[in-house]
């Protein structure tokens, strides 16, 4: 019997939507990438106290667990322990990754099949984007096919590896939060219609510039494609978030970063977190140090350099002895 399950899931960058017009029967379509060194860790234990301290991520995780147990008709006699978590409302997929982590832990604990896409559907995650599910399952750079007629997360249609040398510089604004929940729903409802010719242009930019550049390891052209995607999408969302980027402080940093070697810049999802793409670690670290010095009086700004991640979640089952599984497919080996 499995006594405990530990799950570690990565954060992700949502680089933008491709087709918000939807005239061909599918709407949105997303490009995103997976981050290493920034994620959520949790442990599900059999029995024990009712749950963690009443902070928001713990309460959210407990709610997900309650709903999944009800869906599987499993008595909820489990406790949750949270370690590090992805910052909430920062545009890095905290809610979806937490939900998928709880689902993976419950599946491994009970032996009941609970695929990530089903977890996302049961917990109302991935309503417009499949990037979170793709990052959880596979990591790397993910392209999804947009929302169609089915009431489930968009399918992943392409997954590619990030070059090991590339780095992402994240720009956090701890004084701001991105839109979520009802505010996000209202924002999407009230946005102006998106022109079909712009949707066609963005699809072409992603498929004929961005992804081929990624395949060739060309950080300059990949970054240029991401910047263009961000410009068009950011301007469309400007009425809802107050500008191309939701945080004026982050926007100022993003305007500066190309001058110190960033190949592409943008905002993940609703932000406020911004990002810059670099072709090598040295350039990213020098840019981060320069940004810390330049904005040293801005206490709300933080700068973190991350690698890309070319694998998905990691699940570890404990049966009184240690057993480890890398990747979403769990393989438990009880040791003597």
User: Tokens 């079909």 — which residue?
Assistant: 196
**Interior CA angle at 78 toward 73 and 80, to 5°?**
125
Average pLDDT value over all residues in the chain: 91
Band (325; pLDDT cuts 50, 70, 90): very low
Band (336; pLDDT cuts 50, 70, 90): very low
pLDDT score of 53: 53
pLDDT score of 269: 94
Count Cβ atoms within 10 A of the Cβ of residue 42 and give its class: 0-12 exposed, 13-18 middle, 19 or more buried. Answer: buried
**Interior CA angle at 252 toward 88 and 291, to 5°?**
80
For residue range 129-146, what is the model confidence (pLDDT) as tens digits?
A: 899 999 999 999 999 999
Q: Say if strands 301-307 and 264-267 run parallel, antiparallel, or are unpaired.
A: unpaired
Q: How far apart are CA 91 and CA 230, in angstroms?
A: 14
Whether 198 has a pLDDT exceeding 70, the answer reads yes
Q: What is the pTM for the complete model shown?
A: 0.90
pLDDT score of 324: 43
Element (H, E) at 230: helix 219-241
Q: Is 89 left (phi over 0), alpha (psi -120 to 50) or beta?
A: left
pLDDT score of 48: 62
Band (321; pLDDT cuts 50, 70, 90): very low
Whether 7 has a pLDDT exceeding 60, the answer reads yes
For residue range 228-244, what is the model confidence (pLDDT) as tens digits?
A: 999 999 999 999 999 99
Whether 77 has a pLDDT exceeding 80, the answer reads yes
User: Tokens 């911004």 — which residue?
Assistant: 274
């Amino acid at each position: 019997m499995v006594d405990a399950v530990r799950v570690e899931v990565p954060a992700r960058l949502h680089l933008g939507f491709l087709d918000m017009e939807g005239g061909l029967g599918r709407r949105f379509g997303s490009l995103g990438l997976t981050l290493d060194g920034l994620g959520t860790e949790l442990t599900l234990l059999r029995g024990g106290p009712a749950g963690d301290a009443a902070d928001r991520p713990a309460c959210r995780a407990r709610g997900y667990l309650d709903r999944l147990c009800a869906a599987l008709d499993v008595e909820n006699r489990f406790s949750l322990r949270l370690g590090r978590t992805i910052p909430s409302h920062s545009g890095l997929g905290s809610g979806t990754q937490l939900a998928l982590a709880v689902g993976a832990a419950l599946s491994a604990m009970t032996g009941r099949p609970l695929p990530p896409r089903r977890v996302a559907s049961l917990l109302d995650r991935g309503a417009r984007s499949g990037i979170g599910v793709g990052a959880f399952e596979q990591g790397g750079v993910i392209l999804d096919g947009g929302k169609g007629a089915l009431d489930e997360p968009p399918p992943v249609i392409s997954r590619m590896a990030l070059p090991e040398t590339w780095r992402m510089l994240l720009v956090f604004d701890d004084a701001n939060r991105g839109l979520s929940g009802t505010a996000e729903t209202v924002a999407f409802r009230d946005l102006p219609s998106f022109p079909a010719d712009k949707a066609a242009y963005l699809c072409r930019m992603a498929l004929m510039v961005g992804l081929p550049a990624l395949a060739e390891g060309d950080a300059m052209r990949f970054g240029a494609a991401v910047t263009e995607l961000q410009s068009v999408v950011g301007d469309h969302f400007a009425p809802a978030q107050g500008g191309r980027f939701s945080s004026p402080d982050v926007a100022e940093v993003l305007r500066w970063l190309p001058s110190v070697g960033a190949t592409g810049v943008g905002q993940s999802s609703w932000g406020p977190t911004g990002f810059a793409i670099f072709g090598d670690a040295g350039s990213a670290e020098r840019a981060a140090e320069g940004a810390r010095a330049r904005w040293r009086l801005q206490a709300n700004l933080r700068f973190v350099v991350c690698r890309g991640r070319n694998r998905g979640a990691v699940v570890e089952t404990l049966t009184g002895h240690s057993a480890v599984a890398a990747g979403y497919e769990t393989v438990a080996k009880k040791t003597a």
